[in-house]
Amino acid sequence: MKMRVKFLLNVFFILLLFSCSPEKKAIKAFRLGKYQNVINFYKDVLAKQPSNGKANYFVAESFRLSNRIKESEKYYERAKGPGVPRDSVLLYYSESLKANGKYEEARKKLEELELNSEDDKMKDRAQKAIDGLNYLDKLAEKKSYYKVKNLESVNTPLSEYAPVYLNSELYFSASRSGSKIYEANGTPFSDIYKATTKGANVDVSSIKPLPLTINAPNVNEGCITFSPDGKIMVFGKGNSGKRKGTNDVDLYMSRFRTETWSEPTLININQPDGWDSSPAFANDGRTLYFSSNRKGGYGGLDIYSSQMDSRGRFGKVKNLGPTINTPGDELFPYVAENGKLYFSSDGHPGYGMLDIFVVNRANGKTIIENLGQPVNSTGDDFGMFLFKVDRGFFTSNREGGKGDDDIYTFVNEDPNLKVVNYFLQGVTLTPKKNEKGNDILPNTKVTLLDDQGEVMNETVSGIDGKFNFRVYENEDYTLIGETSGYLIEREKYSTKGKSVPVETLKELITNITLDTILVLNRLEKNKIFVLQNIYFGLDSADIRPAAALELNKLVQLLNDNPEIKIEMGSHTDSIASDSYNLQLSQRRARSTVNYLIKKGIDEKRLVAQGYGESKPVARNTNPDGTDNPEGRQRNRRTEFKILEIGELPKKPLEEDDDDRYFKESEPVKKNN
């Protein structure tokens, strides 16, 4: 935080210094993100004063912030002197060297930064960057089965990026000559185009922009995604450079109706002052992944997810967490048919700028894998899309292309490419009233936890009560169901022993669907629940291990439902006298309550009540007077009854962590 405050003060000093000089317009342009204007101005200054530290600094920063960090190298080298933030210059200088493939020189700058910086977080960032350089040596030892090729028929000297394939058509974003220049990076505004294609064989004559309802004049449009049925489109749009309209890039939705796309509308998860773009629908057609620099993230841009309901509105936005997101930028998520999540990042160890990564799951752990060369390079590599399991498209501005960003095709010839996708399909139910069986319980929030209790995914069951999660082999899970008017319930599920041997598969992708149910009980006063396996020794009130396991489940239920107060009721059979059984049942009820209190349940929420033999649920003896062991066992039971239903305790407001929320100047992210 200290370093970042220092950085802001230094920038403020520079801006203040020049605010009354002829350079005022250039400083204002820098503030407004019109980086190309800043570069043009200070290059004129540097033509006369090549060693001007502040001028070199502004040119270097403008190149970096407009996503051209390769070009910033020689300017960071000369960005020195009073008012220039030394630590950040060293960091970004090393990144520019790395982007140009100068790894050893980058390492020296990082070692210098780690040695001399007075900021612990900057030291840590330098060390992680050094670790990333060391990782490249290991990555070079890994065999790659990818073959890549420039899609020359589509690419131009300008930018083509973010390819998406749908129904034999290739959609992509592109800048085309003749458009007005976007002042952030000095290139034309981008629009969304489409072309007929057979795999990677594009009919160039069919390339055309989407209608003006989608492509607005002098506004960047790009990074498009479609629902699996092709009826919903979500895309990024913004960066007009004007004061009117949205402040930054936002996500828009359009629906395909009567053979045309509807007028796009802002979706409800955008942040007014944030960058929200690079959307990608998952295969369920409901989960939308996207990238955002909103508050509460782990770095510049993080990947988030949200689920769309039947009305086209999106629910709670969820950050994918620190395993995927880093202090750097993560964007361009994509979920392939094989169920794997691909994304691009400059925060995970890579070759220089954005690299493409894939998320794997093994032994209950999430593993982030760099796809290596030739998919990745020292340039920006992003926008992965598979139109088949073993082939697809991506974007790169690597050396040897036709221009800025180019679209590339690839083939993956890995002989072990076969994949098994496991899906857990369930139904949310509730017991029928006054009869056996269950009713469908629609619109129920269902959460999937791993064996460590970490949230893996969330969804809401449909009108038919159905929900579906991607799960993995040989893992244990917990499902949590919750909806208004019902107790929050948990159900365990394991995929252990349910795996399909990969060597028996014939197809590249095999989908296995597993089934389960999740039953939620109504939240009703005086409702009674019988606890199973709560047995006591003869004439004893001691809690046995098997009973403790069941009571632990009750502890969890009480923690999940803090608004309820319950009565723990104990019952006996008719052996011994009424008074004796009443005393015994009271001791047993008290014993269960004491156990719950020891586990952290507030004793004010608990009442112990022994009923003795007064409320049998079965006959203790048969009609002929003989003993009925099964009936007696049913009568020797422990129950809990809901006595009161109060209001849910209010959660304390979370305080903002200024250090975590702090943002330096945000770079232009491939327009949108």
> For the segment 574-613, what is each residue's pLDDT rounded down to a tens digit?
888 889 999 999 999 999 999 999 999 999 999 999 998 8
Q: How far is Cα 268 from Cα 260, in angstroms, rounded to an integer? A: 23
Orientation of helix 24-31 relative to helix 53-65, angle to 10°: 30
Tell me phi and psi for residue 269, to 5 degrees: -105, 5
Q: What is the CATH number of domain 146-412?
A: 2.120.10.30
Query: With DSSP H G I counted as helix, E B as strand and the rest as coil, what are the percentages for the chain, rounded to 5?
Result: 25, 35, 40
- The pLDDT averaged over each successive group of 10 residues in the chain (672 residues) is 42 47 80 88 91 92 89 93 90 92 93 90 89 88 93 93 95 82 76 94 95 89 93 86 60 92 94 91 93 92 92 90 93 92 93 92 88 93 94 94 92 89 95 91 95 89 93 94 95 93 85 95 92 76 87 94 94 87 92 94 94 88 85 85 83 40 44 58
Q: Are 324 and 368 in contact (CB under 8 A)?
A: yes
pLDDT for 282: 93
Q: What is the pLDDT of residue 645?
A: 93
DSSP state of 605: G
Architecture of the domain spanning 2-141: Alpha Horseshoe (1.25)
pLDDT on residue 661 = 26
Distances (CA, A) of 502 to 338, 415, 509: 14, 12, 10
Q: Would you kindly state where each structural domain of the chain is located, as residue ranges? A: 2-141, 146-412, 419-519, 528-645
C-alpha 222/C-alpha 194 separation (Å) is 12
Q: What CATH superfamily classification does 419-519 receive?
A: Immunoglobulins (2.60.40.10)
Q: What distance in Å separates the CA atoms of residue 110 and residue 360, rounded to the nearest whole number?
A: 30
Q: Which two tokens stand for residue 255?
A: 């629906």
First to last CA, the chain: 29
pLDDT for the residue 74: 94
| Cα 134-139-144 angle, rounded to 5 deg | 165
DSSP line for 196-232: EEETTEE-GGG-EEPPTTTS-TTSEEEEEEE-TTS-E
Ordered DSSP codes for 19-36: TTSTTHHHHHHHHTT-HH
d(CA 357, CA 334): 10
For the chain, give the number of residues. 672
Place of tokens 């200088």: 93
CATH 3.30.1330.60 is the classification of domain 528-645: yes
Structure tokens at 32: 């407004």
Cα 541 from chain centroid (whole Å): 49
And the tokens for 542?
């001691």
What is the rounded distance in angstroms from the CA atom of residue 203 to the CA atom of residue 201?
Answer: 7
Backbone angles phi, psi at 471, to 5 degrees: -125, 180
pLDDT value of position 238: 84
Question: What's the per-residue H, E or C state across 130-183?
Answer: HHHHHHHHHHHCCCCCEEEEECCCCCCCCCEEEEEEECCEEEEEEECCCCCEEC
Residue spans of beta strands (DSSP E) within 9-101: none
Instruction: Name every residue whose Cβ is closer than 8 Å to that of residue 181 and which is 6 or more positions away in sequence.
Output: 36, 187, 188, 189
Report yes or no: 335 and 283 within 8 Å, Cβ to Cβ.
Answer: yes
- CA angle, 96 as apex, 91 and 98 as ends, to 5°? 95
**pLDDT at res. 393:** 97
Dihedral, 348, 354, 355, 361 alpha carbons, nearest 10: 50
Neighbouring CB atoms inside 10 A of 529's CB total 15
Q: Tell whether the torsion through CA atoms of 215, 219, 220 and 223 is positive or negative.
A: negative
Determine the Cα–Cα distance for residues 102 and 347; give it in Å rounded to an integer.
Answer: 18
Phi/psi of residue 242, each to 5°? Answer: -100, 160
